[in-house]
Structure 1
Amino acid sequence: MNLLYWLDPWEPSPTVVIVMLIAAILFARGAHKAKVSMRRRISFWFGLGALYVALHTRLDYFFEHEFFMHRTQHLVLHHLGPFFIALSYPGAALRAGIPFRWRQRFVRPTLAARPVRAILDVLMHPVVAVALFVGLIYFWLLSPIHFVAMLDWRLYRVMNWSMAIDGLMFWWLVLDPRPAPPARLSPGRRVLVVIAAIPPQIVLGAFIFFSSRELYPVYSICGRAFTWLSPMRDQQIGGLLLWIPGSMMSVIGAVFALRNWMRLSARARLRTRHAGPPASAPRGPSSLTSNVVDTSRPQPARN
């Protein structure tokens, strides 16, 4: 068996192919225009490749027939792949890859529409972001729901896509390197958001690991890929994957968010609030930036 055998999809999905191709083409077109560094390019292609492997290769057979392999798939879809894509900060490159006329005619009006902005404001709220990130893990691991999702191919794909999309939104929010605004959250809140997602993952992973009964019998009913692995051992390994690697990814995310915070602070790009503008502050559009103080340079004396 060669590499092409493993890249052959177990269940072909045109949706996966189209989405991956669009993302790849847009990034390839816009990376040069946006002057994306080699480090960011490698990060993006690694993340996109990881998502493709988890969604559209022969490994999907093992994801459907072993619990610990299923947890590995979701670790990639929800953590690893989206993490590296968000770490590459590809927004500028993807936007530059869209033809200018399309951006003017479709993209900008869509993003500026009130319903779209309202939905994004809700989904990107820090409390909602953490609740969705952790809540989806809990939801799809509820025994009755997991049983049906692994038997119904349509619900199975909804499950996988929901994990990938939520992972992209969460890590995009946490790893945004910009100050706020234009970023949605301040650097300190980004650190708190990702730290808040760690304890629930540890609790659920420990519960699955220490459970004395088989929580997910669907794998025994449908047939296991690895017959030499007992159901309880398979379940324990899956719990460990959620408990340790899943939590460690959040710890690494917190470290990157903290690094961005320190970098912005060192460059005096953190915005500070004042009681009000000084009496001699000019009135007009330029006064909008009067609350940003550059402490890295001495301020000139006023006459």
Structure 2
Amino acid sequence: MSTLLYWLDPWEPSPTVVICVLLAAVLFARGARHARVSVPRRLSFWIGLVALYVALHTRLDYFFEHEFFMHRLQHLVLHHLGPFLIALSYPGAALRAGIPFAWRQRWVRPATQTKVARVFFDIVFNPVIAVTLFVGLIYFWLLSPIHFKAMLDYRLYRVMNWSMVIDGLLFWWLVLDPRPAPPARLAPGRRILVVIAAIPPQIILGAYIFFTPHELYPIYSICGRAFTWITPMRDQQVGGLLLWIPGSMMSVIGALIALRHWLRLSARSRLRKEREPGAGAPVTDAKTPASTAS
């Protein structure tokens, strides 16, 4: 027990992480009692949420800051695995039901119906922008000068990690939405194309990091490595492989799940609305991610 408590003790305590995780947990636990949430969906949500917490707020953060391949493992959880599992649980109805009805009527609904909110979600859920953000953030934070500064400045380090979490949630929510369009933002076929489009850039960047013959991220050697038995180049190669193979495989799995939704909706004749005039136009009544999945 003492060993477990040691590893759960955060390397750098963050009230923001604790509040956000607790809020999501309480809302889902409250709402799951009223919304119909199957056991597999509940497990998917809780595993995803715990994965995010472990990657953000435990002693493992020391290793994430002192080894490049551990940093890539952290971002694989923050940007891919954790958000993927949460989106796969389709927790929108449960999270919505977890908010007191009076609060929904007075605060949540008016906030999601403002022009600013509609424009924001129209932008981030645009398929081209969604793919660009999903891949672009990986490239941006792995630019050597940016990465150097992010690993030295704890404020920029936290911005980096939270940007990966938020973007991951938005992207996988868009791709794994099980509903027809509308009310979903994208038609099932376009969801498949969106997630497939994110695969080649990840492969290219992972291969570049793996095959580069010199050290791209000297910050880990400067600040001291957690594992002295791993050479800088081997550390970099393993990090490149984590981006290249597991990261791309997560996108392949996402595409297969989107394909499954497409086939299921087609078999149930629930794609008719997508063939009606104007059905391909963006939905103007934007909603928060928590209210768009059921």
Q: Deviations over 1:32-61 (max 9, x none)?
A: 100211110000000000000000000000
For 1:274 and 1:204, locate their aligned partners in 2 and report how far apart those are by CA, in whole Å: 40
Task: Work out the percentage of aligned pairs sharing the same amino acid.
Answer: 79
The residue number in structure 2 matching 1:8 is 9
What is the RMSD of the two structures over their aligned residues, measured on CA atoms?
1.0
User: Letter of the aligned partner of 1:93 in structure 2?
Assistant: A
Are residue 44 (structure 1) and residue 58 (structure 2) matched? no
The residue number in structure 2 matching 1:211 is 212
For 2:115 and 2:277, locate their aligned partners in 1 and report how far apart those are by CA, in whole Å: 31
Q: Deviations over 1:68-106 (max 9, x none)?
A: 000000000000000000000000000000000000000
User: Letter of the aligned partner of 2:77 in structure 1?
Assistant: V
For 2:120 and 2:41, locate their aligned partners in 1 and report how far apart those are by CA, in whole Å: 29
Please, what TM-score do these two structures have when normalized by structure 1? 0.90
The residue number in structure 2 matching 1:28 is 29
The CA deviation at 1:273 is 3.0
Please, what TM-score do these two structures have when normalized by structure 2? 0.93
The residue number in structure 2 matching 1:198 is 199
Larger displacement relative to structure 2 (69-78 or 1-10):
1-10
The residue number in structure 2 matching 1:100 is 101
Are residue 183 (structure 1) and residue 206 (structure 2) matched? no
Map residues 124-273 of structure 1 onto 2, 5 A cutoff: 124-271=125-272, 272-273=274-275
| Aligned residue-pair number | 276
CA gap of 1:141–1:274, structure 2 versus 1, over 3 A, is closer
Larger displacement relative to structure 2 (149-158 or 114-123):
114-123
For 1:192 and 1:275, locate their aligned partners in 2 and report how far apart those are by CA, in whole Å: 22
The CA deviation at 1:146 is 0.1
For 1:34 and 1:194, locate their aligned partners in 2 and report how far apart those are by CA, in whole Å: 29
For 1:163 and 1:103, locate their aligned partners in 2 and report how far apart those are by CA, in whole Å: 28
For 1:273 and 1:257, locate their aligned partners in 2 and report how far apart those are by CA, in whole Å: 19
CA gap of 1:86–1:274, structure 2 versus 1, over 3 A, is closer
Q: Deviations over 1:204-250 (max 9, x none)?
A: 00000000110000000000000000000000000000000000000
User: Letter of the aligned partner of 2:228 in structure 1?
Assistant: T
Q: Which has the higher contact order (CA 8 A, sep 6+)?
A: 2
Task: Please list every run of 5 or more consecutive structure 1 residues that lacks an aligned counterpart in the other structure.
Answer: 277-303
